[in-house]
Amino acid sequence: MLNAKRSFWLVFTIIAITSLIRNDVFNGTTNVVNWDGYGYYAYLPGAFVYGDIEEYAFAEEHFKNYDISGDIYQLMETKEGGRFPIYNIGLSVIWAPAFLVTHGIVLATGITPADGMSYPYQLMVVLMGLLFAFLGLLYLKQFLALYFSDLVVAITLLAVGLGTNLFYYIVEKPDMTHGYLFALFGLFLFRFALFASAQKTENTQHTELAQSGARASGIRMIWSVDRNLLVLGLIAGLMCLIRSSEIVIFAIPAFYGLRNWATLKRNFWRTLPIFAVALAVFSIQLMYYKAGTGSWWQDGYSGLGFDWLEPHLMDGLFSYRRGWLVYTPVMLFALIGVFQLPKQWVLPVIIFLIGNVYLLFSWHIWWYGNTFGSRPVTQSYALLALPLAAFIAWVLASRLPAEMGAAAGAKKGKLATVDALQNAEGFPEVPTTWGVNSWRLVMVSATVLAFLLLNLFQHWQYNQRIIPLDFTNGTYYWHVFGKTTLDKKDRIYLDTDEKLSTEVYTSKELRLIDTLITVAPKAGREFTNLLEHKITAEEARRATWLSTEISFSYYGETYDKWKFPSIVTEYRRGSDNLKWVQVKIPPTMDTPERDSLSFNLSLPDLQEGDIVKQYLWNLCQDSMVIRRYSFELLTVGRDPE
């Protein structure tokens, strides 16, 4: 029978084994500190290995000896000529104890270079990622167990741990912030839930104690509550020290249980010390800036910013490029589940969601680079597990109690605070089975399993580059949906975003070239014209597509993401450019020495006199020979006999 403990160990075991294998731990070739991760990590070798937090001169040697990234974008220059990491110091604070132990072992044994980047240091990052994955899942399990039955907790852990892109970031990116923040979110929520209960219990018991004259016991109880505020402040401060955008965490203590003026004052006075302690923790970043650069503040995102007045909300939520709910659809149930939460949790969760989504998707690079799914929301799954569990419980029981209750049947010896929470909140007992009907359990289990398999499969597709690193559109997404092999010709749909419909077409050949056309390198000739055609009255009568086919030989390897040969199609009406499509050639090549390419483009609202033009645009030093070029006009329907 599935229970929370088995679910926890199943999820963590799958994560751990996958991480160790994917990161080549057993081969001794681990290389996880790269790209953005180096920006979070560079503080450590700078402070503890090289004693250089002003110029980071050692970075050049790191980039020479290790595969990190194309250039050292992770460090930004100051006006005085020094350098500093562009990302917050928080992850380095978390890694510091393990880094110092690792560095000591390397120095004592001499097994590898003590440069902060050799295998033991990289292994340390992988193991720290797994440690925080363990803690995150553990605290999430304990948090959910305060409110839900064991079965609901078990299903929720599976959904969050294996059915979201959190799995990707824990396994593939242990040098990134998201797995660590997920763990801190879980810890914060668990501690806050206990604190909120203790505060309510303390208020009641303090009154009773005062009436009985037991002042000393009351003082001890008040100190216990204040100590919880200190812990919550430390956790929130560390989260903001990792990523400043985690300031939205304060929506939880500020809005939890808010009902009236009295609860507003209560929330203010419990949120204020949490914020003050968090601010003290965040001052570590300011002190580092002062020590390393001479200034109390540095803008690591200089030249980048937020589109506050035009946030990319629809793209961030639903775009095929990196839309959150496209690649993590199980979170739709979490959003629905918000309305199944008890009233004390509804407002903080809604405020958190609105603030978090607005903040994250106002960032002008709303897709956040090369990522699987929406990267910046993954840590918030710890909080969203609460409404997700509420939705699952509601479906299983067809109802949710007026107030959620703690997990029934808690084993003897479990945290005494669980009982305190039940008593303080007055939660009713919830049957262990929640009155589950078999068909409902099967339905929920099958749905969660489907999302779980989809997430893991698309994670694999992403690693195989079937789902590309960066840009994706709806046409391409559904064309490769479920595919297990990469067909480079499919990448045409990344540029065209169009697929010829299954109607009957009549073709009209506008140009056929079967003699050789030389496409020179950019230095010799940037543009090579292929076609310029004026639409006739007859051609404009029906819905029309353009069909292009070329066969070619390609010479050279100087192309990259930004410089490449491509076929450009222009559709103009007078001075207006109605359509401009660029199809990149190198990403589609299987055998460059003799290859071919074909694609179709729609021409909406075609009118007499419109101009269709097509040419090759070469932005690199490679050359091509076009062996055959065919351009046809496709119109819907058959020609009359």
pLDDT tier for residue 434 given thresholds of 50, 70 and 90 = very low
pLDDT tier for residue 628 given thresholds of 50, 70 and 90 = very high
Q: Model confidence over 344-353: pLDDT tens digits?
A: 999 999 999 9
Task: Decide: 393 and 336 in contact? Cβ < 8 Å.
Answer: no
Q: Model confidence over 368-404: pLDDT tens digits?
A: 999 999 999 999 999 999 999 999 999 998 444 434 4
Token pair recorded at residue 153: 């907790």
pLDDT at site 210: 45
Give 613: exposed, middle or buried? Use CB within 10 Å, 0-12, 13-18, 19+. Answer: middle
pLDDT at site 415: 40
In terms of Cα–Cα distance, which of 318, 328, 205, 195 is closest to 252?
A: 195
Q: Hey, is 250 helix, strand or coil?
A: helix
The residue-averaged pLDDT of 233-260 equals: 97
Distant-in-sequence contacts of 116-123, Cβ < 8 A, 24+ apart: 116/44, 116/45, 116/48, 116/49, 116/50, 116/62, 117/33, 117/45, 117/62, 117/65, 117/66, 119/28, 119/29, 119/30, 121/33, 122/30, 122/31, 122/32, 122/33, 123/25, 123/30
pLDDT at site 18: 98
Report the distance separating Cα 456 and Cα 454, nearest Å.
6
Report the distance separating Cα 226 and Cα 543, nearest Å.
72
Top-ranked range on mean pLDDT: pick from 245-249, 302-306, 416-420, 505-509: 245-249
Q: β-pairing, 576-584 with 611-618?
A: unpaired
pTM (2 decimals)? 0.91
> Which residue has 């997430």 as its token pair?
455
pLDDT at site 440: 87
Report the distance separating Cα 262 and Cα 259, nearest Å.
8
**Could you give the percent of the chain with pLDDT greater than 70?**
89
pLDDT at site 171: 98
Domains and CATH numbers, the chain: 130-463 (no CATH), 491-636 (2.60.120.1310)
In terms of Cα–Cα distance, which of 52, 45, 44 is closest to 95?
A: 44
The residue-averaged pLDDT of 50-77 equals: 97
Average pLDDT of the chain to the nearest whole number: 90
B/e letters for 87-123, b = 16+ CB within 10 Å, e = fewer, are bbbbbbbbbeebbeebbeebeeeeeeebbbbbbbbbb
The residue-averaged pLDDT of 244-250 equals: 97
Report the distance separating Cα 297 and Cα 74, nearest Å.
17
